[in-house]
Amino acid sequence: MSKGYWVVTQNNIPDQTKYSAYAKAAKVTLEEFNGKIIIAGSTEIGIEDGLMDLRTVVVEFDTYETALAAYNSSSYQRAISELHGTLKRDFRIIRGAD
């Protein structure tokens, strides 16, 4: 089975208190579904029309199906609710190459 990935770019950090609450709640989901953060940082170099100043997070899961289940879990939906709609991001769930 292929690994699954959350690939997230965000162009703003909302109120730090809300973001901290989200991060704490999201950690519960990652632990529950064995998600591993493999990239977390800001764009260093933007090439081929790359956008600058984006925070990028990539989380790896054992399977694509697990990545989907983690996103749809009640624990992650609670984490999202901590943001109160303040975070602008592109969130993709991707199947890894075999």
Domain ranges across the chain: 4-45+53-95
Task: Give this prediction's pTM.
Answer: 0.89
Contacts of 39 (CB under 8 A, 6+ apart): 56, 57, 58
CATH 3.50.50.60 fits 4-45+53-95, yes or no: no
pLDDT for 87 equals: 82
HSE value, Cβ hemisphere, 13 Å, CA-based, for 38: 12
Block means of pLDDT (10 residues each) for the chain, 98 residues, are: 93 82 95 96 75 86 98 96 87 93
pLDDT for 41 equals: 84
Of 5, 1, 3, residue with least CA distance to 71: 5
